[in-house]
Amino acid sequence: MDADRFDPYILDVLMPDLVGHDRSPAAFVVYLYLLAAATRAKRDTVAASLQTMASETGLSKSAVQIALRHLKRRGLLDATVEATVTNPVRRVLQPWIR
């Protein structure tokens, strides 16, 4: 996926699911932020602190924390990768791509 284009799945399926069904627009925004950052870096991991994500997305830190938990539960972020203050790495998953 190019950094300036979205996979149609993201807008056609994932957005209505996270925003409409799960009622978590913040999770969708955080996922888009992380996916775009990972795509630009050509990696599946992103090093971004809660404060950075909050500043870049316009969300509060607590909204970002809640969104990250939701994304892990949904299998869109790797729950086995533990982000810390000194190593704020998250692994972005795209489970619809096999």
CATH of the domain at 15: 1.10.10
More confident residue, 82 or 76: 76
More confident residue, 53 or 20: 53
Tell me if 87 is assigned to some domain. yes
pTM (predicted TM-score): 0.89
Helices (H) and strands (E) in the chain, counts: 5, 2
Tell me if 60 is assigned to some domain. yes
Domain tally, the chain: 1
34, 83 in Cβ contact below 8 A? no
pLDDT band at 90 (very low <50, low <70, confident <90, very high): very high
70/67 Cα distance (integer angstroms): 5
- pLDDT tens by residue, 48-72: 999 999 999 999 999 999 999 999 9
**94: closest CA among 31, 15, 16, 11?**
31
27/85 Cα distance (integer angstroms): 20
**77: closest CA among 59, 51, 53?**
53
More confident residue, 65 or 81: 65
Six-digit token pair at 58? 């316009």
Residue 30 is part of which domain span?
Answer: 8-91
